[in-house]
Amino acid sequence: MRPHLELRAALRRAIRSWLDARGFLEVETPVLIPAPAPEEFIETLRAGGGFLRPSPELEMKLLLGAGLAKIYQFGSCFRAGEHGRKHREEFTMLEYYEAGADYRQLAELTAGFIRSAARELFGGGRLEYCGTTVDLEAGYEWLTVDEAFRRYAGCSAQEALERDCFDERMVCAVEPQLGRGRLTFLTDYPVERAALARVKADNPAAAERWELYIAGIELANAYSELIDGAEQRRRFQAALDFRAAGGMQPYPAAEEFLAMMDAGLLPPCAGSALGFDRLAMIFAAVDDIGLVRAE
């Protein structure tokens, strides 16, 4: 395990150095939080009088609202019931935000630090993972969700939503094909899957959201962030209603975050959450994140 842990540490140093050199400030926000963002398919873990964070998103957006412009952090996050080769209940997230940027600019930034880390660690911009060569110097694929469904799932994204098979087709038919040969940013999710992303100005049926794939593995989720307080409240309530209908645990309101949103303090920005354990797994060319964690 030692070589894998050494590579993981070197990967973290390389990314940290790249972000620091571009004016990003490393921050550290609380792991124990009073209220998580309600998400339809993610359960958090209770601890004491609060929750172990599923991501540092709300707390980092509070820092953006307080005037910080470019921030990142590596830190432990927690999601109940997740365990497998690519999942743990506790895992390491790299989360980063830039005020004034949009999701396309954040894709450039993300491709940049992954490519730079490969050059530093391996002397070139190629990754070899489970029989797949990914050329990080070859640019990246910018593929809309609808294009991907038509190409790999045999239907449009909207048809899959209407048939209630969107998630199944995504996992079984679409995702395994992505990130083959080069990075793939799967973009412009249907508005029904907007999460906390803003809707595209020129296409109200799609949201400015992408997920990044390497060799069929989803690594990161990013948005041009929603900054409308009323719409944020509406989406949170819709998620809470969905959770209640499915018997999932209730959450208290994230009052400090919602007050910041209502006050219009969150600037136009983009943010991404990247699974650092998965990226380390790919760089180490192993098929279980447990091999790149001290487990």
Over the stretch 142-161, which tens digit does the pLDDT of each residue have? Answer: 999 999 999 999 999 999 99
| More confident of the two residues 295 and 202 | 202
Q: 3-state secondary structure string, 109-171?
A: HHHHHHHHHHHHHHCCCEEEECCEEEECCCCEEEEEHHHHHHHHCCCCHHHHHHCCCHHHHHH
Identify the pLDDT of residue 2: 92
Q: What is the mean pLDDT of the segment spanning 136-141?
A: 95
Q: What angle do CA 5, 279, 20 make, to 5 degrees?
A: 85
Alpha-helical runs (H) found in the chain:
2-21, 57-65, 103-122, 145-152, 157-162, 166-169, 229-245, 255-262, 276-284
Give me the pLDDT at residue 219, please: 97
- Band the pLDDT of 169: cuts 50, 70, 90: very high
What distance in Å separates the CA atoms of residue 62 and residue 210, rounded to the nearest whole number? 22
Amino acid occupying residue 263? A
In angstroms, the CA 241 to CA 195 distance is: 14
Task: Judge whether residue 8 has pLDDT over 90.
Answer: yes
Query: Which positions ≥6 away from 19 have C-beta within 8 Å?
Result: 26, 72, 96, 113
Q: What is the mean pLDDT of the chain?
A: 96
Does 264 score more than 90 pLDDT? Answer: yes
Return the residue matching tokens 């091999």. 291
pLDDT of residue 26: 98
8 Å CB contact between 127 and 133: yes
- Spatial distance between the Cα atoms of 114 and 285, rounded to a whole number of angstroms: 15
> What is the average pLDDT across 57-72?
98
Distance CA 207, CA 199 (A): 4
82-112 pLDDT per residue, tens = 888 899 999 999 999 999 999 999 999 999 9
Tell me the sheet residues that pair with 51.
33, 46
Neighbours of 83 (CB within 10 A): 9
pLDDT tens per residue across span 230-256: 999 999 999 999 999 999 999 999 999
- What's the whole-number mean pLDDT along residues 23-27? 98
Percent over 90 (pLDDT), the chain: 94
Could you tell me the pLDDT band of residue 140, with boundaries at 50, 70 and 90? Answer: very high
Q: Residue 1's pLDDT band (boundaries 50, 70, 90)?
A: confident
**Which of 249, 185, 251 minimizes the C-alpha distance to 213?**
185
Is residue 178's pLDDT more than 90? yes
Give me the pLDDT at residue 84, please.
Answer: 85
| pLDDT, position 295 | 81
Letter for the amino acid at 279?
L
Nearest of 90, 92, 139 to residue 111 by alpha carbon: 139
Instruction: Please give the pLDDT value at position 76.
Output: 97
